[in-house]
Amino acid sequence: MNTLAIDIGGTKLAAALINDEHKIFQRTEISTPANAAPQALEQALARLVDVYQGQAQRVAVASTGIIDKGILTALNPDNLGGLNHFPLQATVEKLTGLPCVVLNDAQAAAWAEYCYLSAQFKHVTFITVSTGVGGGVVVNGELLTGPYAFAGHIGHIQADPNGPLCGCGRVGCVEAIASGRAIAAAAGHELEGKNTREIFAQAQSGNAQAQQLMTRSAQAICQLIANIKALLDTECIVLGGSVGLAQGYRQQVEQQLAQSPAAFQVPIYAAHYQHDAGLMGAALWSENHSA
């Protein structure tokens, strides 16, 4: 049986077929429409799934935003142009004629990473530090989604009550301090206008401001991990995302966490599935959660 997996991100829509051996093939990608009108997303999805006609028996979708009972809502109005209450599951079922499961992308990635580690651990928390900060929580072998699908949105746990305003409308969220967007926004002087990749390259070559920005981000993630350990007693953390996987970043988080009391310490692994985490997680999830 093939699953058609779809990943809806803020900048691109990806799709692929995933077979029973969990091999990914026929991966394609198109840009997410700049226009936030629901018709624009529906047309883009139609274009994306068209090439897979007759090749899959079910569909699994991972998407940015809150995915509650098949409906997509953007938590941050800047993402997906503020697209709200989009009937994602019904739209994909109509376009493909196949049964469909839908899941938040970070929750899907958490499920993929958990499945990879499930021989060792039953309690795993995934944190992605990228343009934003997201996550997903697996407790006792179950993905925590919550009654309103909001579980695991750990980028919006508060890190500093006097911190910057977050895109979600709250003040001082981890995302507003640690994310790639936040790092770039806080950069001044010689780093002004540079993206996170350029700032991290500067940090590697000894620029003091760049190092400080990286440390500030890693500190916020370290405190987040300690809070998660206190709340869930998670057995391991999986760190992903372009910032989370940047050279030296995870080691900084580990060094800071090592200075915390023993009860707050937890091993931190680099994410196994990188840009395919959403696709793989949604497909793996659909195996046990199809209608």
Query: Smallest distance, Å, CB 146 to Zn ion?
Result: 16
Q: Name the segment binding Zn ion (CB under 5 A); options: 35-43, 141-149, 162-170, 221-229.
A: 162-170
Q: Which of 8/166 has CB closer to Zn ion?
A: 166
Site track 120-159 with Zn ion (rule: CB under 5 A), x = hit: ------------------------------------x---
Q: Any contact of residue 168 with Zn ion (CB under 5 A)? A: yes
Number of residues this chain uses to bind Zn ion (CB under 5 A): 5
Q: Establish if 67 lies at the interface with Zn ion (CB under 5 A).
A: no
Q: Does 275 bind Zn ion (CB under 5 A)?
A: no
Nearest residue (CB) to Zn ion, 90 versus 165: 165
- The residue within the footprint of Zn ion, chosen from 170, 216, 272, 275 (CB under 5 A), is 170
Q: What DSSP string runs through the chain?
A: --EEEEEE-SSEEEEEEE-TT--EEEEEEEEPPSS--HHHHHHHHHHHHHTTTTS-SEEEEEESSEEETTEEE-SSTTGGGG--SB-HHHHHHHHHSS-EEEEEHHHHHHHHHHHHHTTT-S-EEEEEESSSEEEEEEETTEEE--TTS-TT-GGGSBS-TTSPBPTTS-BSBHHHHHSHHHHHHH--GGGTT--HHHHHHHHHTT-HHHHHHHHHHHHHHHHHHHHHHHHH--SEEEEESTTTTSTTHHHHHHHHHTTS-GGG---EEE-SS-TTHHHHHHHHHHHHH--
Q: How far is the CB of 272 from Zn ion (least distance, A)?
A: 27
173 interacts with Zn ion by CB under 5 A: yes
Of the pair 219, 260, the CB lying nearest Zn ion is at: 219
Residue 178 as a binder of Zn ion (CB under 5 A): the answer is no
Q: In the complex with Zn ion, which residue's Cβ is closer, 9 or 167?
A: 167
Q: Is 222 in the site for Zn ion (CB under 5 A)?
A: no
Smaller CB separation from Zn ion, 5 or 221: 221
| Beta carbon nearer to Zn ion, 159 or 203 | 159
Does 174 participate in binding Zn ion (rule CB under 5 A)? no
Tell me the pairing of strands 66-68 and 58-63: unpaired
Site residues (CB under 5 A) for Zn ion? Answer: 156, 166, 168, 170, 173
